[in-house]
Amino acid sequence: MRIFSLLGLSLIVIGLSGCANFPTRSRPIEIFDDMDRHEKYKAQTMYRGKGLFADDRSNRMPVVGTVAVGHLKADDAEYRGIVNGQYLGKLPVKIDAALLKNGQTKFNTYCSPCHDRTGSGQGVVAKRSLWLPTNLHEDRVVAMPDGEIYDVISNGRRTMHGYRFQVLEADRWAIVAYVRALQRSDRGTIEEVPAELRADLR
Ligand code: HEC
């Protein structure tokens, strides 16, 4: 008698503990299907011979030339840094402290691993490889129009990859402004530093 009640108890415990969910390759016994499967068309799927439309698709393709709201990016100056085939001389956004601060954050994140935080091209990647990031204080880079630096960030150049998928357009211009600030500080003289701050220079 005792053995039967023990057996009964263990069956109840097993039943209640949800052991029906142990991993198995066979399909579980299904009493009610709970609407697990039903006739429907899934989005962006081809249904050979029985699609919703004549081309077997369940959706229509967007009309050729469709642009999502806010993605037109028609302004060449703002989005490409190039106008009539010429690099834009000056950045098309207002330079203020907030822009430079953002540029500093983004430069330190995306550029400093190679170009280092001062822009001299001695970042950790450069130190540990034979790869030579450009020194951004070179006369050639200082003389570049703002639009050309924007273009290098967007599309890369020679061995440097572009960062257009990582860095938004507005942040690219902020980086350009910050690169200019770095270049300016690199060319600064001690006379330009207010006398009371000179002691802080290292
Ligand atoms: C993964 C490393 C790496 C990162 C990150 C990187 N660069 Fe470069 N960059 C290079 C290398 C390498 C070159 C030299 C390319 C060459 O001459 O082949 C270069 C060249 C340049 C040049 C000079 C292009 C020329 O015409 O000589 C500029 C300007 C520049 N980088 C800006 C940036 C800015 C701004 C960022 C951040 C958005 C950035 N780079 C991020 C590696 C990097």
How confident is the model over 171-202, as pLDDT tens digits? Answer: 999 999 999 999 999 999 989 999 999 888 87
Model confidence at 20: pLDDT above 80:
no
pLDDT for position 70: 87
Indicate the domain borders of the chain. 76-189
Q: What angle do CA 97, 87, 145 make, to 5 degrees?
A: 50
Q: How far apart are CA 35 and CA 189, in angstroms?
A: 76
What's the mean per-residue pLDDT of the chain?
90
**Contact predicate 135/121, CB 8 Å:** yes
Nearest Cα neighbor of 184 from 114, 92, 118, 88 is 118
- pLDDT tens digits along 91-109: 999 999 999 999 999 999 9
3-class DSSP assignment, residue 182: helix
Tell me which of 160, 163, 168 to substitute to probe ligand 1's pocket, judged by most ligand atoms within 8 Å of the beta carbon: 160
Q: Which residues line ligand 1 (CB under 6 A)?
A: 110-111, 113-115, 125, 131-134, 136, 141, 149, 152-153, 157-160, 163, 167, 175, 179
**Contact predicate 175/167, CB 8 Å:** yes
pLDDT for position 16: 60
Distance of CA 31 to the CA centre of its chain: 48
- pLDDT tens digits along 111-136: 999 999 999 999 999 999 999 999 99
Class of the CATH-defined domain 76-189: mainly alpha
